[in-house]
Amino acid sequence: MSLYLAIWIFFGCLFVLVLSVSAHLEWQTSVAVTVPIVIILALGCLGPWYSSRALPLRSTPLWKVVGTHLLVGMCTSAIALAPARLLGVLAQKTFPDLSARLHPAFPTLAGMSLLIYLLSVALHYALQAVESSRQAELLSREAELKALKAQVNPHFLFNSLNSISALTSVDPRKARDMCVRLSEFLRNSLRLGERTSIPFSEELALTKTYLDVEQIRFGERLRVTQDFDTGCAYCEVPPLLVQPLIENSIKHGIATLVEGGEIAMSGRRLRDSVRIVIENPFDPDAPEMRRNGFGLASVRNRLHARYGGAARIDIQVDGNRYRVMLTIPCDEESETAG
Amino acid sequence: MNTIRAIIVDDEDLARQIVREYLREEEDIEIVAECTNGFDAVKAAATHKPDLLFLDVQMPKLDGFEVLELIDREIAVVFVTAYDQYAMKAFDAAAVDYLLKPFDQERFRTALQRARRRLGEGPRMPSASELRNAAQAPGQHSQRIVIKDGTRVHILPVNQLEYAEAQDDYVALHSGGKTFLKQQTISSLEAALDPSRFVRVHRSFLVSLERVAKIEPYTKDTRIAVLTNGAQIPVSRAGYMRLKELMDKS
């Protein structure tokens, strides 16, 4: 607050100086003209706090940003200068030729006011950028933490262990197989979860191990089809992006259906992004769900923290079909990196 | 010793398998049915008249608690689930036992011992619907009501319920011009529903607040609530106070 005051006292002195020099006014007269201008400007320059938020640089066309702020700036400076004109007209007795003497100074005053206004707009955008980057960092750290917690769902673990327990007497070989798959999944999800990005092919491999475990648990109820462009494999993506979505497809989809169903996964390599689609049937009349959409929220948060508006996640519900569509920028490492 | 008739309800083959395997060593227990979903469980309970139910909580179509609600016979229930959040409530309501997956044979035998003891005590067991009501977490309200109609099961989302009327041991649930009869007291229905959305306006009537169109005076102490579908519901003095309090709040 005191900083803001100091800034405006500085600007005020600048105005007084300009008036004394260009309009040859006595300093008292300059002050009288300046004070209302500076007060109005000081209030007007708080406006960009709102307008800079309403017109975020990233998602607003440039002409709109420039046009709006320029227009508002000109209006603000016109309003700020109005008292000076008024003073010139009304106080003709006290300052006889004020109006005439002020006249040549008006363009300079208007220009200065506009510049100060635009400076304030720029300052607001800068402050906003600092704030949002700090928030994004916070969000991404929080999301990562949550992701680490989420990556091993305890119920998945308990149910898998129960399946193993059942298999030990009827099919020991399969029980051992499931132990190995489960360990593989746990080890890989811990390992990959620590990294900030992994090749998409590794994410797919992790998902496959997860599905292997669930396949033993659900048997014929779980069917999976995959269709990925080879070009997807080299894209660098945040870890645990697809697997939690598949986990959702099973929990809220396949597990709600007596006969089970098919999860269809596909990936298309576009020019500089990948588009992943996961589709599954579900029972719209299923009993209420618990821990609803936690995996989805975690993926959404992490995508937002990392790519901002450049990544998209869309949900389509069409009767008994649920579809998640993910579009993420593809930061391709050199081909050999994959 | 009498044979205990048991049903295993779980949507996963392997999960049923392990219960079946453990039961093979128990000579006094006979598995009369295995079910993979809630609907089948309700049907099997009606046709096989079991004494004991091994019940998973999360299943397709109806969850374990909804299954209990639709079984009106007295059955000893052992929950078998990987989820522990309902355990305390189920115990409070005297479910025989609560097995957390995975479990070993000794733990399973303990559950069976408890079941035998309970079955030996005779008919004074909490009924399935009592169990269901007690198992409801505080602050959590039903989103849907399950109703058995012969062998069919209806699921009525609570936002489609217009009003309910007590009729002896039943409640008549009115929704979209249809009436469903359910064996339940109006008080226990009231307890299961969100009190900010459903009001007991009369000893025998429960209405959905959002369906009330207007309230008209009737006698000195009573009023009539007219619902959006035109139905006229008597409102007692105490019921009017409750209704008014809720409407002022919203």
Question: Nearest residue of A to residue B40 by CA position?
Answer: A258
pLDDT at A336: 45
pLDDT at A157: 92
Task: Look at strands B223-227 and B232-235 and give their pairing.
Answer: antiparallel
Q: pLDDT tier at A182 (50, 70, 90 boundaries)?
A: very high
Q: What is the pLDDT of residues B133-166, one digit of tens each?
A: 555 555 567 888 888 887 788 889 898 999 999 9
Q: What angle do CA A130, A313, A188 make, to 5 degrees?
A: 90
B60 contacts A255? CB cut-off 8 A: yes
Q: pLDDT tier at A119 (50, 70, 90 boundaries)?
A: confident
Res B95 pLDDT > 90: no
Question: Nearest residue of A to residue B84 by CA position?
Answer: A155
B11, B85, B102 member nearest A162 (Cβ): B102
Sheet architecture: strand order including B163-167? B178-183, B170-175, B163-167, B205-208, B198-202
In a domain, B67, yes or no: yes
**How many domains are contained in chain B?**
2
**What average pLDDT does range A245-252 have in this prediction?**
92
Helix (H) or strand (E) run with residue A44 in it? helix A27-44
CATH number at residue B182: 2.40.50.1020
A167 contacts B82? CB cut-off 8 A: no
Instruction: Give how far A169 is from chain B: nearest CA, Å.
Output: 9
Claim to verify: residue B8 and residue B112 sit in the same structural domain: yes
Claim to verify: residue B129 and residue B150 sit in the same structural domain: no
- Residues 80-99 of chain B whose Cβ lies under 8 A from any Cβ of chain A: 82-83, 85
Helix, strand, coil shares of chain B, percent, nearest 5, are 35, 30, 35
Claim to verify: residue B90 and residue B161 sit in the same structural domain: no
The DSSP letter of residue B144 is: E
Question: Nearest residue of A to residue B57 by CA position?
Answer: A287
Residues B79, B41: Cα–Cα separation, whole Å: 14
Residues A329, A331: Cα–Cα separation, whole Å: 6
Cα distances (angstroms) measured from residue A53 to each of A40, A115, A303, A304: 22, 20, 22, 18
pLDDT at A150: 53
A170, A218, A255 member nearest B17 (Cβ): A170
Q: What is the pLDDT of residues B162-196, one digit of tens each?
A: 999 999 888 999 998 899 999 888 988 998 899 98
Q: pLDDT tier at A292 (50, 70, 90 boundaries)?
A: low
Domain of B154 in residue numbering reads as 144-249
Res A281 pLDDT > 50: yes
The domain locations on chain A are 2-137, 151-337
Cα distances (angstroms) measured from residue A179 to each of A159, A174, A185, A208, A216: 13, 9, 10, 15, 11
Claim to verify: residue B33 and residue B56 sit in the same structural domain: yes
Q: pLDDT tier at A338 (50, 70, 90 boundaries)?
A: very low
pLDDT at A128: 85
Q: Is A258 on the interface with B (CB under 8 A)?
A: yes
Res A221 pLDDT > 90: yes
Last residue of a domain, one of B105, B134, B163: B134
* Chain B neighbors of A164, CB-CB under 8 A: 102
CATH number at residue B53: 3.40.50.2300
A170 contacts B21? CB cut-off 8 A: yes
Q: What is the pLDDT of residues A87-114, one digit of tens each?
A: 777 776 666 677 777 777 778 888 888 8
In a domain, B227, yes or no: yes
**What average pLDDT does range A264-274 have in this prediction?**
93
Q: Which residues does residue A220 pair with via DSSP β-bridges, in sequence order?
A: none
In a domain, B139, yes or no: no
| Pick from A10-24, B16-30, B135-149: least confident | B135-149
More confident residue, B69 or A178: A178
E strands, chain A, where? 198-199, 222-228, 235-237, 261-269, 273-281, 312-318, 321-329, 331-332
**What average pLDDT does range A4-29 have in this prediction?**
80
**What average pLDDT does range A44-55 have in this prediction?**
82
**What average pLDDT does range B105-118 have in this prediction?**
93
Across chain B, mean pLDDT equals 86
Q: How many CA atoms lie within 13 A of A67 on its CB side?
A: 5
Q: pLDDT tier at A275 (50, 70, 90 boundaries)?
A: very high
B63 contacts A258? CB cut-off 8 A: no
The DSSP letter of residue A263 is: E
Claim to verify: residue B79 and residue B57 sit in the same structural domain: yes
User: Taking the domain A151-337, which CATH number applies?
Assistant: 3.30.565.10
Res A337 pLDDT > 50: no
Six-digit token pair at A169? 């007497």
**What average pLDDT does range A320-338 have in this prediction?**
77
Q: What is the pLDDT of residues B234-248, one digit of tens each?
A: 999 999 989 888 888
pLDDT at A148: 55
Q: Is A220 on the interface with B (CB under 8 A)?
A: no
In a domain, B46, yes or no: yes
* Chain A neighbors of B63, CB-CB under 8 A: 287-288
In a domain, B245, yes or no: yes
- Residues 7-26 of chain B whose Cβ lies under 8 A from any Cβ of chain A: 11-15, 17-18, 21
Claim to verify: residue B33 and residue B81 sit in the same structural domain: yes
B13 contacts A170? CB cut-off 8 A: no
What is the model's pTM? Answer: 0.66
Six-digit token pair at A104? 């040549």
Q: pLDDT tier at B89 (50, 70, 90 boundaries)?
A: low
B61 contacts A285? CB cut-off 8 A: yes
Across chain A, mean pLDDT equals 84
Percent of chain A clearing pLDDT 70 (strictly above) = 91
In a domain, B171, yes or no: yes
Alpha helices (H) along chain B:
13-23, 38-48, 64-70, 87-92, 105-120, 128-134, 186-192, 237-249
Residue with tokens 């220009």: A111
Claim to verify: residue B98 and residue B213 sit in the same structural domain: no
Claim to verify: residue B37 and residue B116 sit in the same structural domain: yes
B36, B82, B100 member nearest A258 (Cβ): B36
**What average pLDDT does range A168-182 have in this prediction?**
94
Claim to verify: residue B114 and residue B231 sit in the same structural domain: no
The 10 Å CB-count burial string (b at 16+, else e) for A74-100 is: eebbeebbebbbebbeeeeeebeebbe
In a domain, B30, yes or no: yes
